[in-house]
Amino acid sequence: MSVTKVLKLITTLFLLSLSQIASADMQSEIEHLLGYVKSTDCVYERNGKKHNGAEAHKHILRKYDYYEDDIESTEDFIKYSATKSNMSGKFYLIHCPNQPTLTSQAWLLQELSEYRQERIQQSRAE
């Protein structure tokens, strides 16, 4: 086997492993956000109707299943599954005690940022 072919093979294997790592990270982040929604004490508002975390979780999972093939990042997960109603175009809102109302997109992106920071700090501590 020529050196060029070996280098191409090594490069391909390296890129595949990076892709698998990124996919695992994305899945971990999505699972974290789903758990965050499910366990929240905040109220999730969709189209003027208020839902608890477990109900919101169930709804987001249905949308995630529908859009799974379009999702290439955790931010895509939030955009497609947990941002707004496809029917009305209204953004989902989050009402947390003693806090200003946020869009679910802002709320989840904030949690994602905090989760990523925690993972960076954990990896540095190891």
On whether residue 6 sits in a domain, the answer given is: no
Task: Note down the domain range covering 118.
Answer: 26-125
Tell me whether residue 64 is in a domain: yes
Can you give the length of the chain in residues?
126
Tens digit of pLDDT at every position of the chain (126 positions) = 565 654 454 454 443 433 444 455 999 999 999 999 999 999 999 999 999 999 999 999 999 999 999 999 999 999 999 999 999 999 999 999 999 999 999 999 999 999 999 988 888 887
Domain-located, residue 15: no
In-domain check, residue 8 = no
| Structural domains counted in the chain | 1
Is 103 inside a domain boundary? yes
Is residue 92 situated within a structural domain?
Answer: yes
* Closest to 56 in 3D by CA, of 71, 74, 73, 43: 43
Is 17 within the bounds of a domain?
no
**For residue 1, is it within any domain?**
no
Whole-number Cα distances in Å, 113 to 6, 38, 118: 39, 18, 9
